[in-house]
Structure 1
Amino acid sequence: MAGPTILSSPSPPSEEAGTILLETERLIIRRYFLSDAPAMAETGNDTLVTANLRAGFPSPYRLSDAEAFLSTACKPDGTAYPQHNGIFVKPLTADNPSPEPRFIGAVGIIPKGDVYFRTWELGYWLGSASWGKGYATEAIGPFVRWCFDTWPGLNRIEGEAYGSNEASQKVMKKCGFIEEGTRRGAAEKLGVLKDVVNFGLLRSDLEGVKELVRDS
């Protein structure tokens, strides 16, 4: 049986821990270090955050959970895909006067297999202290464009949000994603059935949101 089809890149990013994938005006998106665990645990241990995520993200989110996740996320898998990355506010700025980048959340992709190998699923979250500041749009817009630019064979990035998570839906729309439908009652979170709203972004869709994605 043939293995999964891996999309090639003419200039793949290094798989080394800490590799910076891209920067925006205020943010850095980079691969994780194992030492990111304390900041990840502190930011992710927030029921406002976990309420919008899948059950695979534990709540409470302890240091041991972050360490276990990073022990796998920091290992190269040979694809160079941007599956697990942190979002950081740049240091020595108005938003972060500290000399060190400040962790505020995560962004990554899940590659699809079989006949869907040209499709990736987007995932992201931000600590609630960073909500309402435009960080999500500033991170997601450039990140998805960078993915398309770096992997020419990638044709589609898709995402989803619970029907109750209107903020995440707005972020994807601002970044050019098209709302494609709702799976009614498709998920159960904390004993409550939830609708799931589906979004998709094709490479060809970016032409209409070129400036928005770059400048968000």
Structure 2
Amino acid sequence: MAIRALTSPSPPSAEPGTILLETERLLIRRYMLSDAPALAEIANDPEVSIFMSDRFPSPYTVEDAETFIKDLNPQHDPSSPPEYPTTSGVFLKVAPTEAHHTKAGDGLVLIGSLGVRPKPDVFYRTWDIGYFIGRVFWGKGYCTEAVSAWTRWMFETWPELLRIEAGRYSSNPRSGRVLEKSGFVLEGTKRSAVTKNGVVMDALLYGLLRSDVEKST
């Protein structure tokens, strides 16, 4: 079913490498094919993939990353307008000095990903988000900083957007803390809805409304 597109008075460019927003420490931009080795480095981790859907490869190779980035091209994804944010990379503005990391296409250090999936039919003013941060970067507040800024940027850029949803597995309370710090409200639990690596878990649903953000500003 086709997506009923939301319009924006100032939509971002769909070109690879387009910077979508910046925070104090982070830069969020569209992926470039040259980011593939850096993406594979942070994604090829069972401690990351265990919290992802089975669409997320494990092991995660450079070839997997290249295929993923190529499929972000609007020509490969006709289900939503090319200016939509789809999936973008989260990069550090200042490279960490304590360890070596594979550099992304423009020399930045890739630490994670943020993705958007627009909903169809009567839910077209709701977008679903997903995200991950490489394990070496956990515990530094990067994920909360990225999710909070990302969601507010989407509300500002697409005035017709009313609601953003996110989900997590019951095995991932860390993600719940990120969502709650970003203003999301826990709205329900789907009991025994997920089977990941043979383990049955609950799925928890969170929601953030435009009105929630407006009240907090």
Fold shared, TM-score > 0.5 on shorter chain: yes
For residue 162 of structure 1, the aligned residue among 141, 165, 169 is: 169
Taking every aligned residue pair, what percent have the same amino acid on both sides?
49
Structure 2: 5+ residue stretches without partners: none
* Aligned residue type for 2:211: S
- Structure 1 residue 94: deviation in Å? 7.1
Instruction: Give the structure-1-normalised TM-score.
Output: 0.91
How many corresponding residue pairs?
209
Alignment of 1:67-106 (within 5 A): 67-75=66-74, 78-91=81-94, 100-106=107-113
- Given the superposition, is the C-alpha separation of residues 94 and 4 from structure 1 closer, same or farther in structure 2, using an over 3 Å criterion? same
Contact 1:11 1:150 in 2 (8 A): yes
Residues 111, 137 of structure 2: 8 Å contact kept: yes
Q: Deviations over 1:5-32 (max 9, x none)?
A: 1000000000000000000010000000
**SS state at 1:69 partner:** helix
Distance in 2 (CA, whole Å) between partners of 1:22 and 1:191 is 38
1:125 aligns with 2:132: yes
Distance in 2, matches of 1:141 and 1:44, equals 22
Q: Which amino acid in 2 is paired with 1:83?
A: T
Cα gap change, 1:191 to 1:92, in 2 (>3 Å):
closer
Structure 1 segments (4+ residues) deviating >3 Å: 74-79, 91-99
In structure 2, the residue matched to 1:213 is none
- The aligned counterpart of 1:111 is 118
Asked if the contact 1:34–1:74 (Cα under 8 Å) also holds between the matched residues in 2, the reply is no
> Which TM-score applies when normalising by structure 2?
0.91
Instruction: Write out per-residue CA displacement over residues 12-59 of structure 1, whole angstroms, 9 at most, x where no aligned residue.
Output: 000000000000010000000000000000110000000000000011
Q: Deviations over 1:82-133 (max 9, x none)?
A: 0110000013677899893100010021000000000000110011001000
- Describe the shift of the 1:62–1:31 C-alpha distance in structure 2 as closer, same or farther (beyond 3 A): same
Structure 1's unaligned 5+ residue stretches are: 211-216
Give the letter aligned to residue 136 of structure 1.
Answer: C
Q: Is the 8 A contact 1:50 1:57 kept in 2?
A: yes
User: Residues 139-172 of structure 1, C-alpha deviation per residue, up to 9 Å, x if partnerless?
Assistant: 0001000000000000000000001100000000
* Alignment CA distance shift 1:80-1:187 (3 Å): same
